[in-house]
Chains A and B, each alone.
Chain A
């Protein structure tokens, strides 16, 4: 159980703002599950831990997971980091970014350059990539301070295509269309070990994200998302905290970029296109803004769908390819937007809302079917 708690975003509970306080105040003695309840929770925790930690390594497992499947799992974990990065901007701060592929790409090329051209260590490269991501995000954030939400969306869109074509097109730095090799670090060359490396970084990112929301900065962001003028009248430095959000988002995106570069081992500029940016938006919104569990699950869902793993896992090729004539690689493009529109109009809490009762139950609360209900996908336009 202890292993599982380290990886899975249970820790979020303390900070999930609207869900918990409603349930607790009336009861004097905090509610505790019975002994049977604890056992049931323990069983589910063990199962979860097994799926995340043991299954990919073929330990204690009847299934045979191949290297390609583990690579898909690593990609899902990396996408989760990227989606958490967008969640900081879109969820906590209400700033939309349609150029998030550039945030990730900057980290990817920075890390590949350091490892390939400068022959420095992978872990240093990840750090520098995170730093690069943060710096470019803060620069873009400085622009956003002068614009309303809608106009800023345009700037990020233009920045995305500028980064893809101009920045990543500088052949001496990025290798141009020929691609840039990004070898994996020595100990982690095998796909199985690389998966655990990605998992460790996801845990780190989740921890930073949790500390962010649990701190003054997180509360300041929530306040300025709701109403920047009121927030600033309470003494919150709106500009500074928006820049903090950009820095953290860029940091996460840089880490995701570095990991994706060494995951693919060769990166080309064209893989950081507008579709990737929209994919990140899908993951965060469908996952449920501001819900760490939801965003991670959303990212995993779309990563598996994108790579075709989900379709083959549930034996749906017959349905999609045979009945609908829809090739597996395009399933996410067709299913994703439908889910997005459904989330926006009917289930604003996304996946995070659907799993909130289970999440609370797992952390030792009563099973409450209505936990985590959200009325609206509150993406406010800051200063609009």
Chain B
């Protein structure tokens, strides 16, 4: 293979692997939207905060990698719970755009704290879990083991989520989301369910951050508007999933990853910011043509 065909092949492989990060972010966004009807603009910052915590534990305090990851995830979950307590719960009766502004405020606060705590080294790097890469046989796309691990984590997370929503605890969550008052009447604590959802979403965000950070150098706001921006792509993936479908979020994440990578093809090289342009155009087309999403099960549209 050669020329354009190979380029497209490389772009698709890279896009799919980058899409895994978007899918993890999108899963968190969909989870929160189903629970509280909120567009959570802090979702990507759960990831960056977790990443910074893991970075601090690993490089500054010299912990082992597995403990660093655990610490990073714990910090992300704590931040998710705090967001639920301090912002989302007090605003439960406010309009949804107000809550959106609130979560954007949380993201900004997180970015501020990251700048504050890490202002000595503005650009950070973190070693990968396994530092090696190989070329995909026919296409020749370089793939790091880190990216494969991300793919594996995404698969495991999707399976766990799928199983979880069939278990009693998962059904409780679904019940509380669909009919909060009725759920309270049958003895489900809606508050606890809300906390649980936000913790899960923050965990997914933390995974996205900790797994994608080592691929690049990172700064404060890494996943929101830094080098590893995943907030907007994650939201687009969630839109593709109609903001409701979990499998749709995964499919959407991979799609958005591939669409974005098309901006790196050689005939786009003259266009400045081709990736941002493709994402904007793609979002407009999706919202104009299929505002209810593409990867949505038929029953979900009817509901």
Contact = CB atoms under 8 A, between A and B. Distances in A.
Interface of A: 94, 96, 98, 143, 146-147, 149-151, 153-155, 157-159, 161-162, 164-166, 169-171, 176, 273-275, 278, 281-282, 285, 324-327, 330, 332-334, 336-338, 340-341, 344-345, 376-381, 384
6 contacts: A154-B239, A158-B279, A282-B105, A340-B102, A345-B90, A378-B98
Chain A CB within 10 Å — which of B113, B115, B116, B291 has the most?
A: B116
B64 to A, nearest CB: 28
A158 B101 contact: no
A329 to B, nearest CB: 8
Given A155-B287, A326-B116, A344-B87, 9 more contacts: A98-B104, A158-B236, A161-B229, A166-B272, A169-B273, A275-B225, A278-B108, A281-B101, A340-B105
Interface residues of B, number: 48
B232 A341 contact: no
B109 interface: yes
B106 interface: yes
A384 B96 CA distance: 9
Given A149-B96, A341-B87, A381-B95, A171 B272 contact: yes
A61 to B, nearest CB: 35
B276 A333 contact: no
A378 B91 CA distance: 12
Interface of B: 39, 86-87, 90-91, 94-98, 100-102, 104-109, 111-113, 115-116, 119, 221, 224-225, 229, 231-232, 235-236, 239, 271-277, 279-280, 283-284, 287-288, 291
Contact of B91 (A176, A278, A281, A345): A345
A18 to B, nearest CB: 18
B119 A166 contact: no
B232 A161 contact: yes
Contacts of A150: 39, 96-97, 100
A146 B94 contact: no
Contacts, number: 164
A333 B283 contact: no
Contacts of A334: 109, 112-113, 116
A167 B235 CA distance: 22
A344 B276 CA distance: 31
A153 B105 contact: no
Nearest to B233: A158
Contacts of A341: 86-87, 102, 105-106, 109
Contact of B96 (A147, A345, A381): A381
Given A96-B100, A161-B276, A379 B95 contact: yes
Pairs A-B, 7 closest by C-beta atoms: A165-B273, A169-B272, A333-B112, A337-B109, A162-B280, A166-B273, A334-B112
B112 A336 contact: yes
A277 to B, nearest CB: 9
Contact of A96 (B101, B277, B283): B101
A171 B232 CA distance: 25
Nearest to B224: A274
A334 B106 CA distance: 10
A147 B235 contact: no
Question: Most chain-B CB neighbours within 10 Å: which of A98, A340, A384?
Answer: A340
A172 to B, nearest CB: 10
Contacts of B232: 154, 157-158, 161
Given A165-B272, A376-B94, A344 B116 contact: no
A189 B70 CA distance: 57
A274 B235 CA distance: 16
